[in-house]
Amino acid sequence: MGEHPWRPVGVRALAVSLITAVLVACGGGGGGGGGGSSSSFNTAEFQANYALGKVNALTAYNNNGTGAGVTVAVVDTGIDQNHTEFSGRISGSSASVVGGTVQDTNGHGTQVAGQIAANRNSTGMHGIAFSATILAIKAGTSTTFLDNDIAAAIDLARTNNARVINLSLGGTGGVNATLQTALQNAVNASIIIVASSGNSFSAQSEFPARLANCTGGGGVCNGFNAQGRMIAVGAVDSNNAEASFNSRADDTATAYLVAPGVSVLTTQLGGGTTTVSGTSFSSPLVAGAVAIILQRFPTLTTVQAVNLLFTSATDLGAAGTDTIFGRGLLNLQGAFNAQGLSSLPTGSTNTGSSVPVGDSQVKLGSAFGNALASHAFLGAVIALDGFQRPYLLDLRGRVEGSSPDLGLRGFLAVPSTRTVTTTAPGGLQFSAQVGETPANDLLRERAYRFGADGRQNPERDEKVEAVWLSAPLGERAQMAFASNHAPAAIMSDVLGLSAREGAPGSEFWFAPQLSLLDRGDGIAAYGWLGANWRFGFGVMSSERDELTGTGGGSLSQVAVGYRAWPNAELGLAYGQVVEPDSMFRSNSSGAFGSIGGADSRFATFSLDLTLDAKTSLQSSWSEVRMAPEPGTTGYLSNWGDVRANSFALGLTRRDAWRAGDRLSLTLGQPLRVTDAKADATLPVAADALGHIYYETRRIDVVPTGREIDLQVAYQIPLADRLNLSSFATIAREPGHDPAASVGFATGVRVNLKF
């Protein structure tokens, strides 16, 4: 292919405008005005060129994005070396490849360069990357350029460390082999090429912009591979409407952006400013934006920098990538915003090991309340977006507390609609809870199906969900075996909680260890030794809930009671709960590490008073010490021993309104952590080279609130084997969270026994 004449993709201004601006407010310095507040940059000089506002450049400036230290090559007609807007902005390596000096005699190159890096000096206008360096390379002296001259200019840019090359020129006949080789060598060297789409108002971009999304195929690409380092740029006006002269995206749409290119203000040959139109002047806006991205996010690859501008662009026209506006309008605010906040660093650099944010969570059991959610230290940690850029994230949003029980778990724990009970000679008693269960129930493996005649019937979906077998153990004692029963059901008689029957959830106030396991299997023995001593012993195990990762483990329980007076009983209970994968039903994952489990010891002191034949008073205080097991290392580690407590006071009245009913009033505090400490090792800072810095603090994991519950429960027999149970609970600071609204729960249930 022979040489082709190339023309600057610009429209010469018809008028000259000289503007003098006064700096409204002074911000922090550095890099030609980096840093500072939005008012520091939203000056008359900034507002003089509406294009800067349309692409949200203020966000970049307010985040120290100025292009400082990045060299942008402008392959054009040269530059006005005497223009005050370029003082300190022109590289000493600037040169001409067509003879003579780099001094502009046409004006087009000066206009293009102004859009990129005109100084922020309180006069006229400033470029989008006002601290970038311009490597001006003259490749022509008029409105046409030759392929070989452009190629020579690109080669010069590559060998003089340009990181971005702006080509505000275009033609329709393709590129010759020399120019294609120069373009290929540039992108191979990780240089980003930004090229204007053309002013021919055609369906396709002109060359070389049309090559922007080539990946080495045939056709117009002719083997050229842009390697994701090339951007074609079209023009829109101040209303984001397509410019009347714009050459569209068409088959280059996936690598095509638009930027303001109608009546934009820029520098002019001889000094001052001028208003111009053309894709020649939308292209340098994108080139300058690339310089800002490379400067502000130095760990990005050039491919990532280009992709960032594509993915953050403001969508125009048809939804998504289209053949007119391509990927959309350049949007620096979008580029500076986190793109796909995706991971928490666990390594020493932003490209090192990390864990998805969505996989990192702490689920605290209700005993911990709002403990971690109240820690400011977790409020600003380093997270990485989809481009491995560091952003601050409030990690407290990844801490999930448990809802307070308020009696609902015990009330809803009945798994079936019918209880079948039989009593054999000698006091042996058998009961089974039978009912319909969904086909996907995790307990189906325990199921036995029964027909009306008691034989297995595969056509019915009734099955035994829980079994209770008890037998006398002497005259005043019992031994029981339970399968798939709640801990409270297995341990109620062991702990002497039978007076609390009909008050759902109150067993968790009187015996908080029962709240840490789910339904399971167990053996219990309980009764009286002589006239004054009550004893109880039980063991049970529960399987881990696969959905929550909690509820599994074992409970060993012993209890003794002494009837000190005819109407008073003192009690002492000791329980040990082993949780293999949680602490007080808490677990963690991802960057937090995983909790290794815990061994908790519960000591409960109780006093029960019989006020009269129908009325009794129950009180208890539980102290707990938990020894956490080492888990995997992560943001939370090195847990110390945990202390907690609970207390309760209950009043029960039998035959309150009619024979056989029971009225209960309970005031209690559920299990609450009073002392817990852990090491929090969090990423708190990152530098420009991508190093991640961590800080370790010993933090308290204790709630700042205290839940106090008041419950009223009523149970009444409606008929033989038919009972009605109801309750209402109100909670102050539910979940031990002082910010939580008052909690309330209520329920009514009918039980039928056969």
Sheet architecture: strand order including 256-260 = 95-96, 133-138, 71-76, 164-167, 192-196, 230-236, 256-260
- Nearest-angstrom CA–CA distance, 344 and 360: 8
Catalytic member of 280, 283, 582, 725: 280
Q: What is the distance between the alpha carbons of residues 165 and 112, in angstroms, rounded to a whole number?
A: 12
Instruction: Provide the β-strand partners of residue 171.
Output: 207
76 is known as an active-site residue: yes
Question: Residue 148 in 3-state DSSP?
Answer: helix
Strand partners, 579: 598
Q: Which residue has the tokens 């061994």?
A: 599
Q: What's at 57, amino acid-wise?
A: A
Question: What is the distance between the alpha carbons of residues 725 and 503, in angstroms, rounded to a whole number?
Answer: 9
| C-alpha 305: how far from chain center | 23
Question: What is the C-alpha to C-alpha distance for residues 747 and 223, in angstroms, rounded to an integer?
Answer: 74
> Residue 479: phi, psi to the nearest 5?
-125, 140
Q: Report which residue type is found at 599.
A: D
DSSP letter string, 588-632: EEGGG-----EEEEEEEEEEEEE-SSSEEEEEEEEEEEEEEPP--
Burial of 732 (0-12, 13-18, 19+ CB in 10 A): middle
Q: What angle do CA 607, 613, 619 make, to 5 degrees?
A: 15
Q: How far apart are CA 603 and CA 559, in angstroms?
A: 10
Is 108 among the catalytic positions? Answer: yes
Buried-exposed string 425-450: b where 16+ CB fall within 10 A, e elsewhere = eeeebebbbbbebeeeeeeeebeeeb
Structural contact between residues 646 and 668, judged by C-beta atoms closer than 8 angstroms: yes
* Beta bridge partners of residue 7, listed in sequence order: 170
Give the pair of three-digit tokens for residue 93: 């390596």
The C-alpha atoms of residue 268 and residue 72 are separated, in whole angstroms, by 19
Evaluate whether 166 touches 194 at the Cβ level (below 8 Å): yes
Catalytic residue among 108, 126, 485, 736: 108
Pairing of strands 71-76, 164-167: parallel
Going by C-alpha positions, the residue among 522, 518, 527 that lies closest to residue 548 is 518
Look up residue 374 and give its two tokens: 């109240």
Distance of alpha carbon 625 from alpha carbon 674, whole angstroms: 10
Annotate 361-378 with b (16+ C-beta within 10 A) or e (fewer): bbbbbbbbbbbbbbbeeb
What's the token pair of residue 155? 């080669």
Identified catalytic residue from 4, 40, 76, 588? 76
- Stretch (H or E) spanning 275: strand 273-276
Query: Quick one: CA dihedral 270, 274, 279, 284, positive or negative?
Result: positive
What is the side-by-side order of every strand in the sheet holding 264-267?
Answer: 16-17, 273-276, 264-267
What is the rounded distance in angstroms from the CA atom of residue 736 to the CA atom of residue 648? Answer: 16
Please list the active-site residues: 76, 108, 280
